Structure formats: C-alpha cells, structure tokens
Amino acid sequence: MLIIKNVSLNLTYKYHSVHLFLIMQFNLQKEKPTCNCGVFGIFGSHTASLETYYGLHALQHRGQEACGIVTMNLGKRGKPVFISHKGEGLVTEVFDDHEIFQNKLVGQVAIGHNRYSTTGSAQSIKNIQPFTVNYRLGNLAVAHNGNLTNAKQIREELVNEGAIFQTTSDTEVILHLIARSRLEDQVDQIKEAIQKIEGAFSLILMTDDKLIAARDPYGFRPMVIGKLNDAYIITSETCAFDLLSAEFIREVNPGEIVVIDEEVLSTGEIKSYQFTEVQPAKKHCIFEYIYFSRPDSFIFGHNVDKMRRRLGKALARNHPVLNEDEEKVIVISVPDSSNTTALGYQTELEKLGVNCRLEIGLIRSHYIGRTFIQPGQTNREIGVKIKFNTVKGVLEGRTVVMVDDSIVRGTTSKQIVKLIRDANPKSIHLRISSSPITHPCFYGMDFPSKEELIAHNFNSDIKEMAKYLGVDSLEYLTSDEMLEAVSEAGKENFCYACFSGKYPTEVDLDFKKEIYEL
C-alpha cells in the first residue's frame, strides 16, 4: 500500500501569494508486500561490473531503495582489492556515470545487490549491500536475499563476545561468523557459518579468488546459475540472464553451496557441496509465483508466467462471475502486477462458457517519482489518482471483474474501486488470486503488522471486506485452491505461512524488525 516518504515543506512564491506545498514521494512498490532483495554475481568477465549493472537493472523489482556493486581487482603487487560503489535509489540513479565502470569498478569478478530493507534501518547508508570485510584469510563480500530468523540471538551472542557491528542488518552476522571461524579453508568457513544461521537466505559471496553462492535448505527464495560466454553468473531470477543474453544452466539447490573459481572456468565443472546433513522438504515462497518474481522468469522449476496464469484460471473456475444478463463481462487487471493473472482468469471464464472480454480498464502512470500535493487533498486519494486512471468507455454500464493478486491493507484497493465506480459500471466484482493475508512473513517479504492487514481486521470475513472495499462481490482463492493451482511444482513444496500461520521453521512471533536498530 501507499507509503509516503520524505515529507518536507517548501515555500513557493507565485503571483505574489504564498502557496504551501507538500512534497510527497510515493513509493509505489510498497502498495504491495515489498520483498526481499535481488542478488547478482559474475566470475570471469572483463566487463563484470557492467554486466552486474545490467543484471541489477533486470532485478529492480526486487528492491528499489538502494543498490551496490563490489568488484575484485588485482592491485599493486598483484594483491586482490575490493572496490565498491553503492548508493540510495534505483540502479540508473546510483550508477549514472559510465566512468564508474571504466575507471572504478574494474575487475573480472563482481557481485551486486538491490535492496529493499526487511531488517535494518532503511535510512542507514551503512546497510546498503554488498557488505565487505577484510579478515584473516583476505577479503570477503556478501549480498543476501531473504531474512534470517535467528540473527537476533546470534548477534547478541557475538556482541557479548566482543564483536562490533557496523550495520543494523541481519546479513552482517554471516560475515562475523565466517571471520571468526578457526578453519583454514574459506569454503569450509562459509559452510560452518551457514550451518548456524536459520531462515531464508540466497547468498552470494565473493572472496579473493572465488564466487560462492549458498541457498537455505528450504529454498525460500529463488537462485539460478547461468553462463555468459566463459563467465558464470549466479542471480535471483532468470530475467537477469535474458537481458544479458546469458544461458540458464540450473537452479542452486536448497541446502547447496556452489563455488566458481579459475578451475571451474577451465574444466566447466561447477563445484557443489551440500551443507545440510538431513535435507528438509522444500518450502518455496508461494508469493514469488503470486506476485513477486517477474512473469518472464523461470524459478522453482517453472515459468512464473505459467504459474500466474494457472492461479488466474483457478480463480475463474472456483469463483466465476457470470453474465446473467447475457451481456459481455469485462475482465480487467490492476496493472502491472496482475496482468498475467487476469489473462488466465478471462481465458478460463470464456472456456466455462461465459461471454467475456479482457479489457484495459485501468491505465497506470509509470512516471511518478516525487509528487507535489496541496494541503487539504486526501493523500491516499491523490496518490491513487496520480497512479491510475480509468478508461471510462470500457467500464460504463458493464459488469466488471477486477482481478488482483493480493490485498494487504485494502486502502489502495478501496480507492481503485472508487475510481472504477466513478466510471458508472453496472457492478464491480473483485477476484484475488491468493488467500487472505493474515500473518506476517519472517522470510524476507515485508508485510505491515498484523493489525494493519485487512483480512486480520475483518477476521477474514469476506462479505464484510467486500462492503468496506465497496465492491458487489469479493472472492479469494482458498489456500487449497491456491496450492492446487501450483501443484505441478509440488503442493507440499511451498511456504504459505502468511495465509495460514503455519511456519515451516521456528519463528519468534514477537519479532519486530526494529530490534536490530542501533
């Protein structure tokens, strides 16, 4: 939902009168659960930092607050040196000068990170990844996607033993654990460290001579391996390969450590180690299919587009809107995130014999950024109007089905419904391709507190929620219907704890992300 950042006052003189404006920055991605981060690493390319930049560009949807790239280059006397460039903002804003790639971020190995903070203060520049340290065995850099569920305990233990933390991020405990290891091999040290952490992690690490990736035993977050000419790439989603014309090789398996070094470049054999003694059942985040990953990515063994369509089809089969008056039913999406789902919904509805058509009923502006509003306007209302407008001719007098992937707080959905209502449709039916969100996520997706969730507040009473949102009918997929829709990837292979409260690992239900704040 809409979060308003950086509210400041500006005095503007116009025609000799003083107008007071509020400068609002709408972070539109936060209307939905914000997740996670995007990670990217490459080994063996003369233009490693540039490829990392393109990779992060493709992964921008996974985090828009900040980003960074670290490269490994040989300095004077052939000593490896890590060079980093990081900043707040989008990839194109932080890397806005080609000199950065030509003269600063040189080297054949690079890792990068797009950040959306799920732990650690979003405001602290120190929390921008990749993090780098220099320790007993050389340099080390890390980029992390996911959330550690036992970081607080580990951090407390380490602090009690004298460790000094530089950031407020859960990721930093990983560096401390590696640096404190008494083992002599870096891969062994990493293995030892990640056996102590719990929760969700898709990690990319860079040492003086290796690119290393590790994925938690449950495989909550996606992670894939690819090849670009002779270089190897490890990243969050395959859409990063497509932008670079790189070839997809395989996914990093849950509980696996992958090592790429010079030997791998010459033999072509990726080094792989399993770090779990007993491999638990996979628990991929179902939200990656519902909303988070890009539809053009291939993750968890399947195309996201296919799974998203299936969710839309399941929604139509289980919760169709019929054309009782024989007039065409108009199906619309809430662009862009539910476009594919709406396509699936309409195709299936037609198959069921309902006379229907997919239409573009909402137009989304992609050019918002910082926006000025006058005092007196309802912030949320103007925010939604700046972002969306209706195509009135498409909606007027029609039975309209609006397909969306999820509802978090419900405040933006309510405003969108109001916009559609202003276009005078006959009726509005809201269909949601997931179950009601009732619980927080501890694995890297940032939902608001339980008390802010619409489903929690209405005790999942769908009729009451429909009244609040102002729609003629509202239907969600049930958890069973949702899991059935993605069953090709194995129903039991998914985490759906935010819909059910059934967490696959032990979690601290009193956890608040502020506990890391220094």
Binding residues for ligand SF4 (CB under 6 A): 220, 285-287, 441, 443, 445, 495-498
Residues 6+ apart with CB under 8 A from 35: 62, 63, 116, 118, 287, 292, 444, 445, 446
Closer of 87 and 490 to ligand SF4 (Cβ)? 490
* Rounded distance between C-alpha atoms, residue 134 and residue 140, angstroms: 6
Residue in this structure with the two tokens 């269909």, named with its chain if needed: 431
CA atoms within 13 A on the CB side of 121: 9
Do residues 420 and 390 make contact, with C-beta atoms less than 8 angstroms apart? yes
The distance of closest approach from Cβ of residue 510 to ligand SF4 in the complex, given in angstroms and rounded to an integer, is 16
Closer of 201 and 496 to ligand SF4 (Cβ)? 496
Closer of 286 and 314 to ligand SF4 (Cβ)? 286
Beta strands in 167-237 (DSSP E): 202-207, 211-215, 224-228, 231-235
Closer of 206 and 445 to ligand SF4 (Cβ)? 445
The distance of closest approach from Cβ of residue 119 to ligand SF4 in the complex, given in angstroms and rounded to an integer, is 14
Beta strands in 305-459 (DSSP E): 329-333, 356-358, 362-364, 370-373, 388-390, 399-404, 427-432, 445-446
Is 37 annotated as catalytic? yes
Kindly name the residue from 37, 239, 441, 495 that is annotated as catalytic. 37
Written as six digits, the tokens of 105 are 């971020």
Closest CA to 304 of 210, 433, 428, 171: 433
Written as six digits, the tokens of 90 are 């989008």
Residue in this structure with the two tokens 């650690």, named with its chain if needed: 120
* Rounded distance between C-alpha atoms, residue 200 and residue 177, angstroms: 17
Closer of 33 and 107 to ligand SF4 (Cβ)? 33
The distance of closest approach from Cβ of residue 354 to ligand SF4 in the complex, given in angstroms and rounded to an integer, is 31
The distance of closest approach from Cβ of residue 236 to ligand SF4 in the complex, given in angstroms and rounded to an integer, is 14
Written as six digits, the tokens of 331 are 């199906």
The distance of closest approach from Cβ of residue 387 to ligand SF4 in the complex, given in angstroms and rounded to an integer, is 24
The residues assigned a catalytic role are: 37
